[in-house]
Structure 1
Amino acid sequence: MTESRSWSGVVAWVACLAMTLLAAGVPFLRAFYRVEIDYNEGWNIYNAATVAAHGWLYPAKYGWTSVNYPMLSFVIMALLHRVTHEYLFTARVVSLLSLLASGTLVAVIVHSLSGKGWRAPVMAGMFVVAVFCANADYYVGMDDPQMFAQVFFLAGLYVYVCWRDRLPAIALVALLFVVGGFIKHNPIDFPLAVLLDLLLVSRWRAAWFSVCGFVLVAAGLALNVHYGGPHFIDQLLAPRSYSWTKAALQLRNVLGPILLPVGIAIYMAWRLRGDRVRRVAAIFLAASMLLGGYFGGGNGVSVNSLFSATLAVAILLGLLLEEVDSWSLRRIRPNSRPILEAALFLWLLIPLVISGNWNVRGVIRETRAADGRFDDEVEAMAAQPGLALCESLLRCYAAGKPYIYDPFNATRLVELGEQDQAEMLRSIEERKFGVIQLGVPLGNDERIGQVDPALRERFTPEMLRAIQQNYMLAMQDADAALYVPASK
């Protein structure tokens, strides 16, 4: 029996490792091509470059460019740029390293909560890498600060589970959470879970945690306003539309493909609800699913709203794997742990098939082709003198064009009545832009309202109609359409 269990354990290790490597193939390789992974990449680069040039990120309440993130991530990228002299690949490497660090931190959190061996914690950490690569691949190796921020949040959670009885440790937890929050402010479910757990243990410690947090947040806000500009809070809290339908679809699209791991994690959370030491993991799952599910309905919010829930699932799976062998043999077969480990990882084939990333060679071949098209597009844009109006800010940056228009945020503000589009319409009609880059060609006037939904999120119908009437298509490929001023 012992030899059989040993072999089944080895087979499970091999299956889990192979699944992790397969899932990581596309996002880890794609990160080293210049082609744009996501719209946010160019936006983050321009903001980091603004900080490097000692400019303000928040000079006005609303404008054609706006920044609804705290500035710490841009400061860090600007500092790293002094060493690497490169923004895009520096940020992508930080993202990849942050994912590996997140997996490591989840492993040590599970080990601290269970107090047993390392097999289950390592499996939980490896699951973090695998599930993010399989189910949120566009955020892996992408220039976006959330992956980096969650390292600090996980570090805070680790300090909490190790030394929650010590007031200095609780202050350190608050500090790590605040630093993470000023890199990217989404993961507020971490401090909420810790606060709720502390309230169940000691109101005095909960009050101490709250006071430390408020003081540090106030200091961070003051620093952002002082160095970033007077309208930091206005831009951070800029309005956005909300849809309950989108929130429901986001939950389905993110958690649906990993339904088995999520279901098992919910079961484990229920088992831990009365466990004084480990219930923080259950609270964390509940808080992250509720908050992440709600915030997922915001316009512009993506799968990252449920990143904390994904981390909570991994922690709870690790805790379950650690104790499954001790459950009654009438309920659990002797070799159930390796079978369960393999099943959890092999389940990730579902999101891999949905994304198409199971075919690593095919996806990277297309990425290489898109990389060549990207270079051709940038070269054509750089050859056009004057300003540029870009749907893809990364293309604008690579072409050496100044940052004058943030398509997504500007269009959102126009739609909400906070920004008047007359100035931009006049600039288009007067053909002040040497080149305008769109993701797809506009076609005839009747198709303006039927173009790609992403394009409609970044330019109003009036802007698109003005472009069609005053510019002509000069270049088109599978990824972009370049327009130049039409002859008068």
Structure 2
Amino acid sequence: MALDQHGRLERILIGVVLLQFLALVTIPLCAIPLHVSRNYDEGWNAYFAQIAMHGGVLYPPIDAMVANNYPPLSFYLVGAVGKMVGDNVVAGRLLSVLSLIVVSINVGRLSRWLGAGRSLAVLASALFLLGVYTLIPGYMATDDPQFLAHAFVTWGALIFLKANAERLWKSMLLSALLIVVGGLIKHNVISLPLTLCTWALFYDRRRLGVFLAASFVVGVAACIMVYMSWGMAMVRDVLFNPRLVWLGRALLTMEYVLRFLLPYLIMTIVGWVLLGRRDKASFVVLYLASSMLNGFWMLAGAGVNLNMLCDAVIALTLGVVLFVQALSDDGWPVRMLHGHAKTVACLLVVLPWMAASLFVYISRPGTHNVDALVHAHQWEELSRTLSLSKGEVACETLAVCYWAHKPMEIDFFNYGQKLYARSAYADAPAGFLVKVTQKSYAYVVIEKSSLSDPRLPLVLMRALFENYKPVEIVADEEVLLVPRT
């Protein structure tokens, strides 16, 4: 108990959790400068950052073979950093890591708002990092704006929650501005703003009224700026981008994640009930409900990944803070555990994430990024081969063509979604079918997984292999094809 009473138990657990997290992400961090693509989106983000920096068309026509379904701001931020480091993929990875650190700090600050002591707040920050690794290990040090958007939105939420009456208008304007910026980086970060409004509706309607007024002012200004810069093309592509939706996909995904989240769901509800459903505790429960519901319906869309549940990880981390606080009060659980309640609570909130993250590390070796270190020279050689070609080149893994300094000819995923949704005709004059039939590409590079689960319709894949033949499998991931003679 001496450890617990003086906060040393929390400090020991903080050290253990952070050491485990660093051990799990060491290889992805070391792979940041390597020209090895971690996922499909890295090259896609890098290309649009390049377009933003060079004044190109950020939102192409509807019948183009490329599409942009993200808001614009991340491309300018990544592109600006990319100019300094010389590589947009590396820039995006660095921003992602820094943003994740900022979000973890904001989680600790939100824990302090809930009433947590300093040690418990730092422990919450560490647990958040471990929780993120457990659910979305493939997003560690990856060029994707998800964490960047959360950094702005969580910062805005903190200002909203901590604003005092004397500076309410200024605070709400700043809060609204940060949240809108987050939305202009990535538009799926809606759970926390919705929670703020719902919670304030029940507990602080004056704060809600001022915030809504401030959001209206900031929102109108943002809409005018967006329309003047990108017109209706951005609205069309971001909000109405063709995408296949299947409810079963969301059900299967949630079945997978619940095995990791269930202990924390239970702890959050137990903490909320034991604390007497206080206003701050209710904020956490509302946030959890909002993030789980939003995550569920978003996951029904093709191509949507578990990064949609980052809000749920934040909410559950705050939920375990409630749990520890509840068992630290002088209630019946404390008396029943004879003074060891807080020790038990701290161990209960740490051990499941530690075990789950180790399970993910062992069971999903592809997320370690060891191949990035082993096969880096093969990826470099593939990009060099493409860069030396004189004709057009099409890459499914867009980062390969980006590093080869070739233009983005086709976005396999979004083009495939257009065709599946029948919003663009498969054999349009500039379409992929015509290109491969005429053997316009000097090389085509597809992912090995596309041999069994292609992003493009089968009619296009058949046409591709009728006119192109595979000559090499690179790093056991990329298939290089050349025209048949």
TM-score (norm 2): 0.91
CA shift in 2, pair 1:340/1:271, >3 Å: closer
1:445 aligned residue: none
Establish whether residue 355 from structure 1 lines up as the match of residue 360 from structure 2: yes
Selected match of 1:376 from 374, 381, 397: 381
1:25 aligned residue: 26
In the TM superposition, residue 352 of structure 1 has moved relative to its aligned partner by 3.1
1:219 aligned residue: 221
Conservation of the 8 A alpha-carbon contact between 1:174 and 1:209: yes
2:117 aligned residue: 117
CA shift in 2, pair 1:300/1:367, >3 Å: same
Q: Secondary structure at the match of 1:472?
A: strand
State the distance in 1 between where 2:365 and 2:348 align.
Answer: 22
Write out per-residue CA displacement over residues 165-188 of structure 1, whole angstroms, 9 at most, x where no aligned residue. Answer: 423322222111111000111010
1:262 aligned residue: 265
Greater displacement, 134-143 / 1-10: 1-10
CA shift in 2, pair 1:8/1:51, >3 Å: closer
Conservation of the 8 A alpha-carbon contact between 1:8 and 1:335: no
2:404 aligned residue: 399
Conservation of the 8 A alpha-carbon contact between 2:272 and 2:281: no
Q: Secondary structure at the match of 2:279?
A: coil
In the TM superposition, residue 254 of structure 1 has moved relative to its aligned partner by 2.7
State the distance in 1 between where 2:298 and 2:225 align.
Answer: 26
Write out per-residue CA displacement over residues 351-405 of structure 1, whole angstroms, 9 at most, x where no aligned residue. Answer: 4344335999994543311322211221222233211111100011111211121
In the TM superposition, residue 340 of structure 1 has moved relative to its aligned partner by 3.3
State the distance in 2 between where 1:332 and 1:179 align.
Answer: 47
Q: How many residues align?
A: 475
In the TM superposition, residue 321 of structure 1 has moved relative to its aligned partner by 2.3
CA RMSD for the aligned pairs?
2.5
Segments of structure 1 that go 5 or more residues without pairing to the other structure are 443-450
Equivalent residues in 2 for 1:44-443, closer than 5 Å? 44-114=45-115, 116-163=116-163, 165=165, 166-237=168-239, 238-271=241-274, 274-328=277-331, 329-356=334-361, 363=368, 365-422=370-427, 423-440=431-448
State the distance in 2 between where 1:20 and 1:358 align.
Answer: 16
CA shift in 2, pair 1:481/1:277, >3 Å: closer
State the distance in 2 between where 1:359 and 1:415 align.
Answer: 30
Conservation of the 8 A alpha-carbon contact between 1:254 and 1:306: no
1:466 aligned residue: 463
State the distance in 2 between where 1:475 and 1:368 align.
Answer: 20
Conservation of the 8 A alpha-carbon contact between 2:60 and 2:68: no
In the TM superposition, residue 58 of structure 1 has moved relative to its aligned partner by 1.6
CA shift in 2, pair 1:236/1:14, >3 Å: closer
CA shift in 2, pair 1:244/1:350, >3 Å: farther
TM-score (norm 1): 0.90
In the TM superposition, residue 215 of structure 1 has moved relative to its aligned partner by 3.2
In the TM superposition, residue 265 of structure 1 has moved relative to its aligned partner by 2.1
State the distance in 1 between where 2:9 and 2:60 align.
Answer: 61
Conservation of the 8 A alpha-carbon contact between 2:395 and 2:446: yes
Greater displacement, 413-422 / 346-355: 346-355
Identity of aligned residues (%): 23
AA partner of residue 125 (structure 2)? G
Conservation of the 8 A alpha-carbon contact between 1:272 and 1:279: no
AA partner of residue 426 (structure 1)? V
Q: Secondary structure at the match of 2:335?
A: coil
1:482 aligned residue: 480
State the distance in 2 between where 1:27 and 1:230 align.
Answer: 38
Write out per-residue CA displacement over residues 17-45 of structure 1, whole angstroms, 9 at most, x where no aligned residue. Answer: 33333333344334343211110000000
AA partner of residue 141 (structure 1)? A
AA partner of residue 71 (structure 1)? P
